Amino acid sequence: MGRKKKVSMQDIANRLQISKNAVSLALMNKKGVSDEMRGKVLQAAKELGYGPFAQKAPDSKNILVLVPERIMSYQDNDHFRFFHDLIWGLEKSIRSKGMNAVIAPIGREMEARLQLPQHCTDIAYQGIILFGIVDKAYARLVWELDAPLVMLDSYHRELPCPVVCSANISGAAEAVSVLIRAGHKDIGFIGPTNLTTSHEERWYGYWKSMQDHGLRIEDRLILTTSESFDCTEEEIDRFLRNLELWPSAFFCGNDRIAYLLAKQLRERGLKIPADVSIVGFDDLDDAEELGPKLTTMRVEKEKMCDAAAAVLLSLPGGVREAVRVEIPATLVLRDSVRTVET
């Protein structure tokens, strides 16, 4: 039996008697074609089984994994270590289910221009896994492809679709409870709350645990804003310089921030945990000698990846239900917390 001819953009153009460029603009959701024509192009793509609209073909073994390039950069080593594990964890989980993981990087310019990777239109696939910190407008562009979609780790509440994430709220609440059980009452928080749902939920977990235990949250002990992708060492330094009285403990939104905080505290002559206790989140291996090993909440990345692949393969085409799968974080007790005498 001869191999079935791959449907091209020219085939769509021939059917609608328009230019190939107009088809490209419509499929990429770019300006230059009317909404009516964009609808006709999408309908023709579905009928012909072009690109992502052929994902239901029984011989399609591909799953697209869309990843922002900025989290794949070796230059951003702290974030790379975390997301690197997710990338290869997904590849392993997808392969174990008899499928192929097709990694498609999203460049900064592509994201700004709302431009999809060519994979989205040039190959057949079963569905898409989108993970990392992606602007809402770009996530919506992917969401509108009408292909089975799962968001992993971060998501946008305005876009109803299946989500697999760590149990950030309960995990953060447990992390703060570790400090409270150790006798700490003045507990600070450092971490951005406006970058991802994960960071936002970890802030809420901190707030909830403090409220549940009847402890006051002091504004002077909180650093929640950031000028960049994540809290920088310079921001933490400025924050600490403005503190007149040290809290006995900090909960940090991720381990990267916890290590930066530990470094800044030691430079000020403070010891961990003798002077200040610290709990983080993620369970990243410390690449440097930063003193006592960090107590943290381990994100179960392997379980998250396996759940994301399993959920995607169980979805009917075009599902738009806000299904949420939370993978519990695991408390890892180490040496960065001391018990306060009461």
pLDDT tens per residue across span 92-107: 999 999 999 999 999 9
User: Of the candidates 133, 136, 138, 91, which has an alpha carbon nearest to the alpha carbon of residue 113?
Assistant: 138
As given in the structure block, the two tokens for residue 39 are 């609808």
Measure Cα distances from 312 to 26, 49, 65, 192, 267 in Å. Answer: 26, 20, 11, 30, 47
Instruction: Decide which of 213 and 154 is more confident.
Output: 213
Instruction: Decide which of 7 and 143 is more confident.
Output: 143
Instruction: Decide which of 115 and 78 is more confident.
Output: 115
Which class for 160: exposed (0-12), middle (13-18), buried (19 or more C-beta within 10 A)? Answer: middle
Please say if the pLDDT value at position 221 is more than 50: yes
pLDDT of 80: 62
pLDDT of 272: 94
Give me the residue label for tokens 């703060």.
Answer: 176
For residue 289, give the 3-state DSSP assignment: coil
Which class for 77: exposed (0-12), middle (13-18), buried (19 or more C-beta within 10 A)? Answer: exposed
As given in the structure block, the two tokens for residue 158 are 């305005």
Please say if the pLDDT value at position 77 is more than 60: no
Cβ atoms of 48 and 7 closer than 8 Å:
yes
pLDDT of 1: 28
Measured CA to CA, the distance from residue 245 to residue 220 in angstroms comes to 9
Least confident segment among 57-61, 80-84, 174-178, 217-221: 57-61
Measured CA to CA, the distance from residue 145 to residue 211 in angstroms comes to 42
Residues in the chain, overall count: 342
Question: pLDDT tens digits for 108-121?
Answer: 899 988 898 988 87
Question: pLDDT tens digits for 3-30?
Answer: 345 678 888 889 899 998 888 888 777 7
Cβ atoms of 262 and 198 closer than 8 Å:
no
As given in the structure block, the two tokens for residue 257 are 């921030």
pLDDT of 120: 83
The DSSP 8-state label assigned to residue 125 in this structure reads -
For residue 251, give the 3-state DSSP assignment: strand
For residue 44, give the 3-state DSSP assignment: helix
Averaged pLDDT score across all residues of the chain: 86
Residue type, 261: L
Half-sphere exposure of 190 (CA within 13 A, CB side): 27
Residue type, 327: I
Please say if the pLDDT value at position 34 is more than 80: yes
pLDDT of 5: 56
Cβ atoms of 32 and 25 closer than 8 Å:
yes
Measured CA to CA, the distance from residue 238 to residue 243 in angstroms comes to 9
Please say if the pLDDT value at position 161 is more than 80: yes
Q: Provide the 10 A C-beta neighbour count for residue 282.
A: 25
pLDDT of 132: 79
Crossing angle between the packed helical segments 255-267 and 233-241, to the nearest 10 degrees: 50
pLDDT of 321: 78
Measure Cα distances from 134 to 66, 109, 137, 156, 195 in Å. Answer: 10, 12, 8, 9, 9
Measured CA to CA, the distance from residue 101 to residue 178 in angstroms comes to 39
Phi/psi for 17 (5° steps) reads 55, 50
As a whole number of Å, the CA-based R_g of the chain is 23
Measured CA to CA, the distance from residue 238 to residue 227 in angstroms comes to 13
Measure Cα distances from 251 to 32, 186, 256 in Å. Answer: 50, 11, 12
The model carries a pTM of: 0.80
As given in the structure block, the two tokens for residue 79 are 């974030």
Please say if the pLDDT value at position 146 is more than 90: no
Least confident segment among 70-84, 211-225, 245-259, 279-293: 70-84
pLDDT of 342: 65
